[in-house]
């Protein structure tokens, strides 16, 4: 239950902000003037960015002061029973973590400005007057923040922490993944106007999600079976050249490893991502941000891959899924994404079962 609550704490503020933005946009289109709703739609994200900006500055200053003070905080905390090396390592990352908070927060504030939106509209298919597009554009900073903070903490540190915390908690992975992806889909649907500017059928039409036909399923499966050997071969060549990152592999194993050991886990790996990530990125975001920027954001959101070959592979996958969405539909990209993930999952499953891993 605590995992679902934690996901709600993360997602609900963004869902509420997008709901307010859609109400403000509905009033704008109807030529109704409701400055209070507009104030809330822009005030909430602005307040969030200001809070994160201030927090980032404070964390960075603490880290810089601690680094320059010469005090061995590790020794002090060791007397309290804490590991000195871990404490010192964490303190050393504070300046970078602080930067990873305040810089994206500043970017988010800047993207809320009307002149910046008008400049963005020259290269992106957005309406600079739209309140929904304005808020969505500013949310790019949240994805950037997620990546920067992850890199600042360190993939190796996250991998170690995840391995320690995942023992006996396989069921939590299912709960976390499904709740995360369902809320991601809800965010996408609310973002395009569900409950405010569009009814549910109109939302599905905007997202380009339709009931899959046999032909669409076959096309999606075909693309997946082509993508798997291409991406796998790309990563294999990179590993042979010494370009792989063992910390990324360790973190992936800690976060998703239990899913590869059972059929329900493999189905979850494919279906959850198809429902959440495709609805948001290919369905909601891509028509406004374009295929390339959407693929970049898709890769940045997978921050657990850090700067690695896997990160590049995710970008390529996102771009191809975007092309599939444009050429066919989001439904087909969902089938492709689900089949791609599940194929990799079954490969790992049989490799584990046969004792290869």
Mean pLDDT lowest among 15-19, 105-109, 247-251: 247-251
pLDDT at 256 (0 to 100): 72
What pTM was estimated for this model as a whole? 0.89
Given a cut of 80, whether residue 161 has pLDDT beyond it is: no
Q: Examine the domain organization and report whether 200 and 315 are in the same domain.
A: yes
Exposure b/e, 106-118, CB count within 10 A at least 16 = b: bbbbebbeeebbe
Domain count, the chain: 2
Average pLDDT score over residue span 323-327: 97
Q: Examine the domain organization and report whether 122 and 179 are in the same domain.
A: no
Tell me the two tokens of residue 2: 């605590």
Domain extent for 24: 1-153
pLDDT at 87 (0 to 100): 61
Q: How far is CA 84 from CA 59, 64, 154, 164, in A?
A: 20, 19, 18, 18
pLDDT at 85 (0 to 100): 61
Given a cut of 90, whether residue 205 has pLDDT beyond it is: yes
Residue 273 near residue 181, CB atoms below 8 Å: yes
- Taking the C-alpha atoms of 286, 288, 291 and 295 in order, what is their torsion angle to the nearest 10 degrees? -60
Distance between CA 106 and CA 318 in Å, rounded? 27
Q: Examine the domain organization and report whether 286 and 339 are in the same domain.
A: yes
Residue 163 domain flag: no
Given a cut of 90, whether residue 285 has pLDDT beyond it is: yes
Q: Examine the domain organization and report whether 176 and 323 are in the same domain.
A: yes
Percent residues over pLDDT 90 in the chain: 58
Bridge partners for 194 per DSSP: 198
Q: Examine the domain organization and report whether 193 and 307 are in the same domain.
A: yes
Q: Examine the domain organization and report whether 97 and 197 are in the same domain.
A: no
Residue 314 domain flag: yes
pLDDT digits (tens, 9 = 90+) for 75-112: 555 555 555 566 666 777 889 999 999 999 999 999 99
Q: Examine the domain organization and report whether 348 and 224 are in the same domain.
A: yes
pLDDT digits (tens, 9 = 90+) for 42-73: 999 999 999 999 999 999 998 888 777 665 55
Residue 104's closest CA among 68, 53, 33?
53
Given a cut of 70, whether residue 187 has pLDDT beyond it is: yes
pLDDT digits (tens, 9 = 90+) for 296-320: 999 998 867 666 677 888 899 999 9
Q: Examine the domain organization and report whether 176 and 271 are in the same domain.
A: yes
Average pLDDT score over residue span 192-220: 96
Residue 28 near residue 129, CB atoms below 8 Å: yes
Given a cut of 80, whether residue 248 has pLDDT beyond it is: no
Q: Examine the domain organization and report whether 220 and 323 are in the same domain.
A: yes
Measured at the CA of 176, the angle between CA 9 and CA 198, to 5 degrees, comes to: 60
Q: Examine the domain organization and report whether 105 and 230 are in the same domain.
A: no
Residue 81 domain flag: yes
């Amino acid at each position: 239950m605590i995992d679902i609550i934690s996901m709600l704490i993360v997602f609900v503020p963004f869902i509420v902000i997008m709901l307010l933005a859609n109400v403000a946009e509905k009033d704008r289109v109807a030529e109704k003037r409701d400055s209070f709703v507009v104030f809330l739609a822009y005030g909430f994200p602005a307040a969030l960015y200001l809070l994160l900006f201030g927090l980032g500055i404070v964390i960075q200053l603490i880290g810089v002061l601690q680094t320059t003070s010469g005090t061995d905080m590790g020794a002090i905390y060791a007397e309290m029973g804490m590991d000195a090396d871990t404490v010192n390592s964490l303190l050393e990352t504070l300046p970078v973590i602080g930067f990873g908070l305040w810089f994206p927060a500043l970017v988010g504030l800047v993207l809320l400005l009307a002149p910046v939106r008008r400049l963005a509209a020259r290269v992106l298919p957005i309406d600079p007057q739209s309140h929904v597009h304005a808020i969505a554009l500013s949310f790019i900073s949240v994805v950037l923040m997620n990546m920067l903070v992850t890199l600042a903490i360190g993939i190796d540190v996250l991998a170690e922490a995840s391995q320690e915390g995942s023992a006996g908690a396989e069921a939590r992975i299912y709960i976390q993944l499904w709740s995360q992806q369902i809320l991601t889909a809800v965010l996408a649907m609310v973002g395009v106007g569900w409950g405010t500017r569009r009814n549910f059928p109109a939302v599905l039409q905007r997202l380009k999600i339709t009931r899959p036909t046999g032909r669409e399923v076959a096309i999606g499966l075909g693309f997946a079976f082509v993508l798997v050997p291409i991406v796998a071969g790309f990563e294999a060549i990179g590993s042979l050249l010494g370009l792989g990152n063992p910390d990324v592999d360790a973190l992936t194993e800690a976060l998703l490893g239990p899913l590869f050991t059972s059929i329900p886990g493999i189905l979850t790996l494919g279906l959850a991502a198809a429902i959440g990530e495709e609805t948001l990125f290919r369905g909601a975001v891509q028509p406004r941000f374009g295929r390339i920027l959407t693929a970049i954001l898709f890769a940045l959101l997978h921050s657990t891959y850090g700067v690695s070959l896997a990160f590049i592979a995710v970008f390529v996958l996102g771009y191809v899924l975007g092309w599939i969405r444009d050429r066919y539909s989001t439904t087909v990209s969902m089938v492709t994404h689900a089949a791609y993930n599940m194929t990799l999952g079954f490969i790992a499953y049989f490799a584990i079962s046969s004792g290869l891993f």
